[in-house]
Amino acid sequence: MARTRFLPDRGLTSRMVLVMFLLGLLYVAAMAGLIAAGFDVALVLIIATGFLVAQWFFSDKIALAAMGAHEVSPEDGRMAAELHGVIDRLCALADMPKPRVAIADTDLPNAFATGRNPKKAVVCVTTGLMRKLDTDELRGVLAHELSHVAHRDVAVMTIASFLGVLAGLVARFGMYSGLGRSRDNTAVIFAVVWLGSIAVYVISFMLTRALSRYREFAADRAGAYLTGQPSALASALTKISGDMAQIPTRDLRKAQPAQAFFFAPAAVGKTLGGLLSTHPPTEKRLERLAQVSAELGKPMA
């Protein structure tokens, strides 16, 4: 975690380390399996390294492009000036570097943070969110997003999600390259690599989703402690979650690339008890915020 006044979260740190360790083992095991099967993995390694470097250095640009967002300065209108003002005050309060600021022109009420480190981070807010929330609620959401930056979990999630997908792609690549080299046991190679690909992807997918859900709890808690207004964050969460059902399906689909980084998920419905969700249920987040209110001695409104 970067040195800031955000509340430290050892639970989040330990989970990030554990997930990265397990994904690393999974990735190495997948590569070792392909090598043991006699596949030529040199090209796979080159491609994998290239993708990882691109993801690391351009994840912020990719996320902004997916949302049609653009960076703004305080001189770019009233909305941009208000947004910069709130972020300036929060960064001063948290004693952290100010990230770049971006706005996405969409009715979808949401926000997200991305970037490989605090100095390269960007916080993006939609125009729908700015219109929907009052100043205290906006402050709570932005404190939540800045907590992601301070805890460096944005970078960890970027790598973790990439490694999960890449592990599955590596297995598939090995399958196709191996089919052309071993015609006598094609069926066996196909079955083993195909099943291995599924197992690798499912395990990595579940690990990253579990980490993603916990990091939202951690950001809610850290943001609420920084502002001292958990009720404002709870109010914002309730408003945003309630509005999601009113957003056209096509707009929700456009937002899917940034889903894991959103303040609130751009999707509705429940999936396998939430195991496949990028975010914990709203009810659980509100319960945790109520606990923070009790700890601070400030009852929820």
Spatial CB neighbours of 80, under 8 Å, sequence gap ≥ 6: 72, 73, 74, 101, 103
Supply the pLDDT for residue 68.
87
- The CA-based angle 161-166-168, given to 5 degrees, is 110
Task: State residue 70's pLDDT score.
Answer: 93
Convert the pLDDT of each residue in 198-241 to its tens digit: 777 788 888 888 888 999 999 999 999 999 999 999 999 999 88
Of the candidates 6, 51, 22, the one whose C-alpha atom is nearest the C-alpha of residue 211 is 22
Angstrom distance (rounded) from CA 27 to CA 15: 18
Mean pLDDT, the chain, as a whole number?
79
The predicted pLDDT at position 299 comes to: 64
Instruction: Quote the pLDDT of residue 116.
Output: 79
The per-residue pLDDT for range 13-56, each reduced to its tens digit, is 888 888 888 887 777 776 676 666 666 666 666 766 776 677 77
* Whether pLDDT at 272 is above 60: no
| pLDDT of 74 over the 50 cut | yes
DSSP-assigned states of every residue in 224-247: HHHHT-HHHHHHHHHHHHHHHTTS
- Regarding predicted confidence, which is higher, 13 or 247? 13
Taking a C-beta distance cutoff of 8 angstroms, is the pair 272, 202 a contact?
no
Buried b (16+ CB within 10 A) or exposed e, 89-104: ebbebbebebbbbbbb
* Angle of the 282-296 helix axis to the 230-244 helix axis, nearest 10: 170
The arithmetic mean of pLDDT across residues 71-91, rounded, is 95
Judged against a pLDDT cut of 80, whether residue 83 lies above it is answered with yes
Cross-strand pairs, 262 = 112
Query: Residue 123 is inside which H or E element, if any?
Result: strand 122-126
List pLDDT tens digits, range 136-182: 999 999 999 999 999 888 778 777 766 666 666 655 565 555 544 55
137 an active-site residue?
Answer: no
Say which residue, 42 or 109, is predicted with more confidence: 109
Q: What is the pLDDT of residue 120?
A: 85
Lowest-pLDDT range of 38-52, 75-89, 117-131: 38-52
Instruction: Give the per-residue pLDDT at 180.
Output: 47
Task: Select which of 145, 216, 287, 295 is catalytic.
Answer: 145
pLDDT of residue 286: 94
pLDDT at 61: 84
